[in-house]
Amino acid sequence: MTIPKHAPTLFPAQNNQLLIGGIPLTRLAQRLGKTPFYAYDRQLIIDRVTQLRQQMPADLKIHYALKANPMPAVVQLMAGLVDGFDVASTAEMHVALDTLMPSQYSSIAGPSKRRAELRSALAAGITINVESPNELETIAQLSAQSGITASVAIRINPAFELKTSGMKMGGGAKPFGIDEEQLPVVLQRLQALQLDFQGFHIYSGSQNLKAEALIETQQQSIALAMRLLEFCPNGIKTLNIGGGYGIPYFAGEQPLNTQQVGDALAIEMAKFKAVQPHAEVIIELGRYLVGEAGVYVCQVVDKKISRGHIYLVVDGGLHHHLAVSGNFGQVIRKNYPVAIGNKIHGEPQEIVTIVGCLCTPLDIIADKMRLPVAEIGDFVVVYQSGAYGLTASPNAFLSQPNAAEVLV
Ligand SMILES: *Cc1c(COP(=O)(O)O)cnc(C)c1O
């Protein structure tokens, strides 16, 4: 039996040190003047989007979901790489609007958009993904009051689901979107309202590494949209089929075969374009674009032995990186890929448990991992940390200082 290993990281090393944006880790730490920090590698993000574009159909639009990493510098970079943004709050919308991305290529989704948020989205001119029949009426009212015609897309909760997904967001009873079965009535109501109808948004789930499952969902999403055209006398302008492209986090996981997904999508898109030649097909991705391009770095504060077990105690923890501790939607805690960033290929090695600075047994960064022997002052690096890191963590928990962020 082979022992499962973590998929190789995209970050290079030189002189036994991790390089981030071409800068040795210890030098970057000096520049920032503090640990812990998140560092995102600009070139790795550019390479990722470039490669994905080569693998996907040429006329597919790729949008970035800010919730994966809303750092303004990252979003500014993304504005020049992708075709649009998906935001999940007014604050994210403002970050998106600060870039050169034209507002009509952004959309807002979320099941609880308050009136003030809808008013802002309306004024900004971004597309509002409608999540319920009530929300549709509210948008129509606000649109009439403000004299601004709202651009809307209907978010559909399909009858099918994305198989083998880390997080399912469609199929069955869900708080997201409008059930497929209700669409004929909702689309009829839409005809009576003064709204600029864009089309459909179908988001089925997240963190999927199985090309076959994603291909099946893409086929089903496009087929569903084509069936619903019957209720859209003027056709649709956009079809957002979601995403869900995952990245390998844990030992034994294989990277997603995006070439296979892109090839299959080209076939489905051709069928759709045959009936709606002017409509845009969109995918929206978060973690796939940024997740592998980021690391979380903290420093060893203490090393101790408890009943034969070696502990490295660091200055960071789950308040910055909830997911590494296993508390962000995971069923069983597994180790993220972790390295000693200033002793990348170090020998000898030993088995250690790395814990964070919070007084709770939940604050685990690595459990019984074989790593180069580390001492106080060395750097612990958590890979695959470019998405759902700092902003997906309980930063205020235990009132420890927050982490820095840098794009290099
Ligand atoms: C979370 C979410 C995304 C991004 O998911 P990733 O797994 O980061 O790609 C995209 N669209 C919607 C509607 C979402 O809720």
In this predicted structure, what is the pLDDT of residue 217? 96
Q: To 5 degrees, how large is the angle CA 244–CA 39–CA 408?
A: 105
Of 199, 286, 191, 268, residue with least CA distance to 240: 199
Count of domains in the chain? Answer: 2
Give the mutation target among 154, 285, 292, 384 for probing the ligand 1 site: most ligand atoms within 8 A of CB.
Answer: 285
Inside any domain, residue 46: no
**Ligand 1 centre and the CA of 323: distance in Å?**
16
Inside any domain, residue 121: yes
What is the arithmetic mean of pLDDT over 30-34?
Answer: 98
Question: In angstroms, how far apart are the furthest CA atoms of the chain?
Answer: 73
Inside any domain, residue 50: no
Instruction: Please write the tens of the pLDDT for every residue from 134-149.
Output: 999 999 999 999 999 9
Inform me whether the pLDDT recorded for 213 exceeds 70: yes
**Ligand 1 centre and the CA of 283: distance in Å?**
10
Q: Are residues 242 and 148 in the same domain?
A: yes
Following DSSP, what letter does each residue of 69-134 receive, concatenated? ---HHHHHHHHTTSSEEEESSHHHHHHHHTSSS-GGGEEE--TT--HHHHHHHHHHTPEEEE-SHH
Look up residue 313 and give its amino acid: V
Q: Which of 232, 267, 285 is the last residue of a domain?
A: 285
Total Cβ atoms within 10 A of residue 181? 9
In this predicted structure, what is the pLDDT of residue 169? 75
Inform me whether the pLDDT recorded for 72 exceeds 90: yes
Phi-psi region of 234 (alpha: psi -120 to 50; beta: other; left: phi over 0): alpha
Inside any domain, residue 197: yes
Q: Are residues 262 and 114 in the same domain?
A: yes
Q: Are residues 174 and 199 in the same domain?
A: yes
Helix axes 258-275, 211-228, angle to 10 degrees: 10
Q: Are residues 202 and 254 in the same domain?
A: yes
In this predicted structure, what is the pLDDT of residue 227? 97
Backbone angles phi, psi at 180, to 5 degrees: -50, -40
Which residues form ligand 1's pocket by a CB distance below 6 Å? 65, 67-68, 86, 109, 203, 206-207, 243, 284-288, 387
What is the arithmetic mean of pLDDT over 169-193?
Answer: 93
Distance CA 105, CA 2 (A): 47
Inside any domain, residue 62: no
Could you tell me the two tokens for 210? 């199985």
In this predicted structure, what is the pLDDT of residue 94? 98
Inside any domain, residue 374: yes
**Ligand 1 centre and the CA of 65: distance in Å?**
6
Asked whether the CA dihedral 51, 56, 61, 65 is positive or negative, the reply is negative
Task: Please report which confidence band the pLDDT of residue 1 belongs to, taking 50, 70 and 90 as the band edges.
Answer: low
Pairing of strands 294-306, 309-314: antiparallel
Q: Which atom of ligand 1 is nearest to the CA of 67?
A: 1
Helix axes 90-97, 115-124, angle to 10 degrees: 20
Instruction: Please write the tens of the pLDDT for every residue from 251-301.
Output: 999 999 999 999 999 999 999 999 999 999 999 999 999 999 999 999 999
Residue nearest (by alpha carbon) to ligand 1 atom 8:
286
Distance CA 92, CA 67 (A): 8
- Residue ranges making up the domain that contains 25: 8-40+292-407
Total Cβ atoms within 10 A of residue 274? 9
pTM of the full predicted structure? 0.96
Inside any domain, residue 47: no
Residue nearest (by alpha carbon) to ligand 1 atom 7:
206
In this predicted structure, what is the pLDDT of residue 324? 98
Look up residue 152 and give its amino acid: V
**Ligand 1 centre and the CA of 176: distance in Å?**
12
Q: Are residues 74 and 179 in the same domain?
A: yes
157 forms beta bridges with: 179
Q: Are residues 170 and 259 in the same domain?
A: yes
Inform me whether the pLDDT recorded for 387 exceeds 80: yes
> How many CA within 13 A on the CB side of residue 318?
19
Contact 358, 319 (CB under 8 A): yes
Q: Are residues 93 and 242 in the same domain?
A: yes
Task: Please report which confidence band the pLDDT of residue 171 belongs to, taking 50, 70 and 90 as the band edges.
Answer: confident
Q: Are residues 149 and 128 in the same domain?
A: yes
Contact 280, 239 (CB under 8 A): yes
Element (H, E) at 38: strand 37-40
Q: Which of 259, 285, 311 is the last residue of a domain?
A: 285
Distance CA 102, CA 301 (A): 46
Could you tell me the two tokens for 321? 């990186």
Distance CA 408, CA 79 (A): 16
In this predicted structure, what is the pLDDT of residue 346? 86
Inform me whether the pLDDT recorded for 167 exceeds 80: no
Q: Are residues 281 and 305 in the same domain?
A: no
Q: Which of 285, 315, 331 is the last residue of a domain?
A: 285
Contact 81, 60 (CB under 8 A): no
Q: Are residues 266 and 303 in the same domain?
A: no
**Ligand 1 centre and the CA of 285: distance in Å?**
6
Total Cβ atoms within 10 A of residue 99? 16
Per cent of the chain over pLDDT 90 is: 94
Q: Are residues 297 and 254 in the same domain?
A: no
Least confident among 170-174, 241-245, 349-353, 372-376: 170-174
Of 288, 283, 290, residue with least CA distance to 74: 290
Inform me whether the pLDDT recorded for 2 exceeds 90: no
CATH of the domain at 318: 2.40.37.10
Per cent of the chain over pLDDT 70 is: 100
Contact 121, 94 (CB under 8 A): no
Q: Are residues 118 and 192 in the same domain?
A: yes
CATH of the domain at 152: 3.20.20.10
In this predicted structure, what is the pLDDT of residue 161? 85
Inside any domain, residue 63: no
